Structure formats: structure tokens, C-alpha cells
Amino acid sequence: MNRRLLITGAGGFLGSRICEYFSGRDGYEAVGVTHRELDIEDFVAVSAFVKAIRPDYVLHCAAISNTGACERNPVLSEKVNVRGTVNLAKACRKAGSRMIFTSSDQIYNTSHSLEPNREGSEGKPGNVYGRDKKRAEEAMLTYLPDAVALRLTWLYDAPSRGRVAGQGLLQKLTDALKERREVEFPVHDYRGITYVWEVVRHLEEAMGLPGGVYNFGSENRYNTFDTARLFLRELAGGDFGSILKCDDERFASCPRNLTMNTDKIRSHGIRFFNTSEGIRKCCLEHREMSQAWC
């Protein structure tokens, strides 16, 4: 019997790819919804929808993920990112569905160490988005101790026709190369950056994890400027001219560290490529882009 998946945020960068992947995979029935089909702020609507669909798993990707938008409108962020998650958790509990929630490395944005962050080591997040993702995790696990929260890094994919484009590092650099314009990245910023299809492919394994919180993405030992330089070398060889500029002022007084330790997820047999390995895999898998840039 097929396992039925309900995927929220199906019109977004990650959710659309999850729908694409599981729609073509034997043993699964993927039901993707966007805000137009389901307003997750409305508990009555959420409860009725989940009851009607009766999914085995709810993969909750819907969110306001733009950190600037969350800072400008914290009330809306709380409604969507916290209350929306709580509504789904309550509905899952009633329907007997298992919930997998895509959280964020922004929870670690007040880390005072340059060591990779472990689950449970986070302080109070310093921005609205990170704060609300943390609150959503805690509330979900109160209602559903068996639920799984996956803390994701910054994601990227190769530009591709017919797929939702994101604002990941690869997209930014590809656009800069095409337009021969300068692009600037900070040296005092450290974060994992993950090939989105690695996240998608590992979700099947994540469905079998014990309930709890997991760092779920690529480890990375480079700062964001050096990571961008690494990506450019893979995209354009050594010929990317002077388009890459160094920002040595941003985060200078307090370096930002969003990098994640993935020992916990590895202990369950889930292994991600590190960030430098991931871009090489991305180039190999997207031959059209590889022929143009790699």
C-alpha cells in the first residue's frame, strides 16, 4: 500500500521539489498544497483537510522564510511560522499522521562559538525568523513528541527550466557570471550550504527517525566568502575575473556562526556531502549547467 504524503508549501523552492520527487517514486502518493489550497493559519480548515486526506506523513515546508520580511512583520511571522505549525501538529495528532517539520539553522544565529552547533546548544535566537522556528519546534513536540524537526541550512540548486528558482548561493553566482557584475560576500560569516536534492532524497530516511530535533544538511568549514569562491571555481574554473568582492565589515564585531554538527543524524545512518562536495555533485547532476559553467 502506498504511503500518502501531505506536503505544505508545495509552491516553494523546497516543497515543489519534494512533490516532484515523491510523485515519481513507487510506494508514495504525494499531495502538495499551497497557501491557495490551504491556509495553515485557519485551524478549522487545517483540521478538516488533514482529516479528509488522512496522510501517513505531513511534510511541513510552508513558511515565511525571508528573514527581512519576518523582521518587518513579526505578527505575520508568528501567525504563519508558529501558529500554522501548531495547527498542523494538532490536526496530525487527531488524524494519527506523523509530522516532519522543516526548521532552520537561523536558530543558531546568536552562537558565540565558531565550533559547529549541536542540537540543544542554541541560545535565544537573535532574529524573528529563528525565534519563531524555535517556538514552532517546541510547540510541535509538545503536541506530537513523535514528530521530527529538521534544521536546514541555506539551500541551492542549479538553475533549471520548469522549477521554482530560489535565492541560493548558486543562483546568485550564476546570475553574476552571466551579467559580469560584482557580488559581495562576508568573511565573518560561517554557515552550511546544502544541495537541495540531498535534503529531498534523505527525507525518506528522516521519516523513520525517532521524534526530536536534528541538524539536517551539509557541514562546512569555510566562511561565506571562501565558499562563494569555491563555488565559482566549480562553475567557471579559474576564469571568474574580479566579480567576487570581500565584505570584511559585516559581522566583524561578532562573527556569525550558523554551521551545524551532524553527528546526531549520522548516528542514524544519514550522511550528507559537505558543502564543497555538494557543489561538485550538483555540477555532475546538471549537465546542461555543467557544460555552460563547469
Q: pLDDT by residue (tens digit) across 93-141?
A: 999 999 999 999 999 998 878 899 999 988 788 899 999 999 999 999 9
Q: What is the dihedral of CA 230, 155, 183, 112, to 10 degrees?
A: -80
> What pLDDT band is residue 91 in, cutting at 50, 70 and 90?
very high
Q: What cell was used for 62?
A: 510552508
Task: Decide: 61 and 19 in contact? Cβ < 8 Å.
Answer: no
> What pLDDT band is residue 287 in, cutting at 50, 70 and 90?
low
Q: Which domains does the chain have, with CATH numbers?
A: 3-154+192-215 (3.40.50.720), 159-190+220-293 (3.90.25)
C-alpha span between 233 and 173 (Å, rounded): 11
C-alpha span between 203 and 61 (Å, rounded): 12
H or E segment at 150? strand 148-152
User: What's the confidence (pLDDT) of residue 89?
Assistant: 98
User: What's the confidence (pLDDT) of residue 184?
Assistant: 94
Confidence (pTM): 0.94
Segment 226-236 mean pLDDT: 88
Three-state DSSP class for residue 30: strand
